[in-house]
Structure 1
Amino acid sequence: MQLFFHENIQEPSFHLDTEESKHLIKVLRRQQGDKVNFTDGKGCLFECTIIDANPQKAVLQVTQRLYTPDDDYYIHLAISPTKNSERMEWMVEKLTEIGVHEITFMESEYSERSKLKLDRLQKKVIAACKQSLKTRVPKINPVTPMEDLVKDKKFDSYQRFIAYVDKENDQHLFEKIEKDRAYIILIGPEGDFSQQELQLAFDFMFHPCSLGKSRLRSETAGVAAVHTVQLKNNLTNL
């Protein structure tokens, strides 16, 4: 199945803008009467039929709508952006494929970057959703100071973790996760968190966790953390 994205799908029919119409009709050579699948990124899968194969303004009719329920758990990754923007793009792509629900880029003491092209990252996320056949687009938040994140009361009901490298911090995230919860996991920059930042997180009930014995790049740590939470929640024998 090939999946397309359109944010504002209205029933019984809707039209595409010029860019999307050209891609569907000219590039992919879809014709009137062809069946195509769309998502609005909000959990719905729409089975559609092309009723006007206009490369400037293609019109589609919705023939069936299927809804994907929310997961029983929620993964929020807060991570310091790396200096290399391509690595951040790779990360959000892989996080989307694995199954993250929300990403916040976090400004910490040793952060390497404070500005991001969120529109470009959003396009990467949508492309990854289409590739991995996901009907929910993860939320991408702008750069936020670490202090604001850890003090935010909306996380009071979350399991809160901070991942960092230390020989005394040897309990793996997998061992600490409770299934079917909301989680927020903090991942620091290449220089890791400062001692003051660690203490701040501890003061607000963030629990230390390890992602293994290896020292990981920030974006690798983010992918490892989200995969770990997905693995724990989807193993049926735990």
Structure 2
Amino acid sequence: MHLFYQPEPVLYLTEDDSRHAVKTLRLGIGDSIAITDGHGNRHSAVITLADSRRCTFRIIDTHVTAPRPFSIRICVAPTKNIDRIEWFIEKAVEIGIERISFFFGQHSERRVLKLDRLEKIAIAAMKQSLQSFRPQLDDAVSFSDLLKTVGGPTFQEEQLYIAHLPENETVIQLARAATTAGRYAVLIGPEGDFSEKEIQQSVAAGFQMVTLGPNRLRTETAALTACQLLNFINT
């Protein structure tokens, strides 16, 4: 079954999805498709007009997918090479993630982030992996502003972690620190790592230092590893 994304309550695919359905997949009138609105509603439908500019469909039935009993939010500093962050988004969405937040840290090399392309990558990964929920992507803010959006009664994230390994200190591994069925937020630093001030700010905000393993990881690898570990403990 081919899955398409249409966030609006209309009976036609977006222009991009219409072109993909008709020109690339060669779908025609009467062919079955599935559509999600990105909020858990999955429609089974059949094509009624195979137009590459506006492919229309008729809904047969609708299934409401329940949210997962846990949620993962990865807060990460964009890398200098944006291809690495794009790779992370694609793979994290395929594995399973609810929210990705970007921040500019003191040691960040990249100071500009265009969210439009990243949104398209996330949507494509959602469709490819046949999921009904579109993850939330937050535009980049300063590190201090990011901390204001994490945890507490407003944002509900009760398990807060920062991936950082201080010298000559023993830090628990994320997979051992996290408990199942939680609402997680994990901070992943830039290529130059967190500054000492940022570490102090995060600890004061309730974040627990954790390690992702014995090896030093690139930013995007660390972010994906954290995502995978949290999905694994909830399997």
Question: For residue 219 of structure 1, what is the aligned residue in structure 2?
Answer: 220
- In 2 relative to 1, CA 25–111 (structure 1 residues): closer, same or farther, beyond 3 Å? same
Tell me the distance in 2 between the aligned counterparts of 1:44 and 1:67: 5
Deviation at 1:17, TM superposition (A): 4.1
Partner of residue 110, structure 2: 113
Give me the whole-angstrom Cα distance separating, in 2, the residues matched to 1:56 and 1:228: 41
Distance (whole Å) between structure 2 residues aligned to residue 214 and residue 18 of structure 1: 45
Distance 1:19-1:204 versus aligned 2 partners, 3 A rule: closer
Q: What's 2:158 paired with?
A: 158
Native 8 Å contact 1:169 1:208 kept in 2: no
- Structure 1: which 5+ runs fail to align? none
Partner of 1:81: 78
Unaligned runs of 5+ in 2: none
Deviations 1:51-92 (A, max 9, x none): 122333221000011111011111111001100011110010
Please tell me whether the aligned partners of residues 4 and 13 of structure 2 are also in contact (alpha carbons under 8 angstroms).
no
Instruction: Give the deviation of 1:26 after TM superposition.
Output: 2.6
Offset, 1:46? 1.0
**C-alpha spacing 1:184/1:50, structure 2 compared with 1 (3 Å):** same
Contact 2:173–2:212 (CA<8 Å) still a contact in 1?
A: yes
Count how many residue pairs are aligned between Structure 1 and Structure 2: 231
Counterpart contact for 1:165–1:215, Cα < 8 Å: no
Q: CA separation in 2, counterparts of 1:177 and 1:91?
A: 21
Distance 1:156 1:48, change over 3 A: closer
User: Which residue in 2 is equivalent to 1:68?
Assistant: 65
**1:23 and 2:20 correspond:** yes
Q: Aligned residue for 1:49?
A: 46
Please tell me whether the aligned partners of residues 4 and 17 of structure 2 are also in contact (alpha carbons under 8 angstroms): no
Structure 1 pair 223/17, CA: closer, same or farther in 2 (3 Å)? Answer: closer
Aligned letter for 1:184? A
User: Could you list the per-position Cα deviations for residues 84-131 of structure 1 after superposition, in whole angstroms to 9, with x for gaps in the alignment?
Assistant: 011110010011011110000011110111211211001110111111
Measure how far apart 1:8 and its partner are: 1.3
Q: Which amino acid aligns with 1:158?
A: E
Identical residues among aligned pairs (%):
36
In the alignment, is the contact (CA less than 8 A) between 2:156 and 2:183 conserved in 1?
no
Cα displacement (A) at 1:24? 1.5
- 1:17–1:2: structure 2 CA closer, same or farther, 3 Å change rule? closer
Task: Tell me how large the CA RMSD over aligned residues is.
Answer: 1.5
Question: Whole-Å Cα distance in 1 between the matches of residues 41 and 156 of structure 2?
Answer: 30
How far is 1:146 from its partner? 1.3
Q: Specify whether residues 211 and 18 from structure 1 end up closer, same or farther in structure 2 by C-alpha distance, changes over 3 A only.
A: closer
Distance verdict in 2 for CA 1:6–1:165, change over 3 Å: same
CA separation in 2, counterparts of 1:2 and 1:170?
A: 45
CA distance in 2, matches of 1:83, 1:150: 22
Q: Secondary structure at the match of 2:234?
A: helix
**What's the secondary structure of 2:180's corresponding residue?**
coil
| Offset at residue 163 of structure 1 (A) | 0.5
Specify the SS of the correspondent of 1:199: helix
Cα 1:19–1:84 shift into 2, 3 Å: same
